[in-house]
Amino acid sequence: MATKSTTVQANALWQKQPKVNSELFALTYGALVGELLRDLEKTDLIQSELDRMGHSMGIRSAEEFLARSDMNCKNFSDTPEVLKMALRMFFGVAADTRSKSDDSMFSVLFSDNPLTLFVELPDEYETLEYSQLLAGWCRGVLEMLQFDCACKVEQSMLTGDAVNEISISLNQVLQEGAGEEYQEE
């Protein structure tokens, strides 16, 4: 899978997407997190709710992505490129990936995070993984590609890290063909 043509295709897909202003998205996401804070109060509950929402968005995004791109993702080693392309197509994010010594793991790295535009976390919420939705989204996308993965926010520029990092770790390959029906839509 040639990285250059992937980037070209990602940009072409991105051009064709209907879009809205990132600031509006960030403010809407902020309102959603605010509602969850009011409603659920506990950080771990809020985070698992954001993760769940992201997961269901990721599944929809992957359906769309598979219908529109000619990407073929048979092996886990293809997923870093696919995730990069999908992040560009849906979030407008230019991400990089970093492989790890263990082939069943890698990291997604990016600096511009559209979820956190204008966001400053009050001290009392410093343990909240504000961008958990993105990790859930990656999990949903990968699941549709038949890879059951754990996706975790490892670093966040919102809390002072130098980069945003989501780690991806393969739990198991789901039943073969589970993702393929969507490629034929």
Determine the size of the site formed for a copy of itself (CB under 8 A). 32
Question: Is 43 an interacting residue with respect to a copy of itself (CB under 8 A)?
Answer: no
Nearer to a copy of itself among residue 17 and residue 77 (C-beta): 17
Q: How many CA atoms lie within 13 A of 12 on its CB side?
A: 9
CB 50 within 8 A of CB 29: no
Does residue 46 touch a copy of itself according to CB under 8 A? no
Rounded Cα gap, residues 116 and 60, in angstroms: 22
Site string for a copy of itself, 78-117 (x = CB under 8 A): -----------xxxx-------------------x-x--x
The window from 57-65, 103-111, 140-148, 152-160 that contacts a copy of itself (CB under 8 A) reads: 57-65
Name the minimum Å distance from CB 60 to a copy of itself. Answer: 7
Closest CA to 141 of 78, 82, 89: 82
Among 3, 12, 39, 125, binds a copy of itself (CB under 8 A): 39
Which residues are registered as beta bridge partners of 95? none
**12 interacts with a copy of itself by CB under 8 A:** no
**Beta strand extents in 33-110 (DSSP E only):** 96-99, 105-110
CB contact at 8 A, 51 and 139: yes
Neighbours of 136 (CB within 10 A): 24
* CB-nearer residue toward a copy of itself: 4 or 38: 38
Both tokens assigned to 127: 């343990």
Binding site for a copy of itself (CB under 8 A): 17-25, 27-29, 31-32, 35-36, 38-39, 53, 56-57, 60-61, 64, 89-92, 112, 114, 117, 133
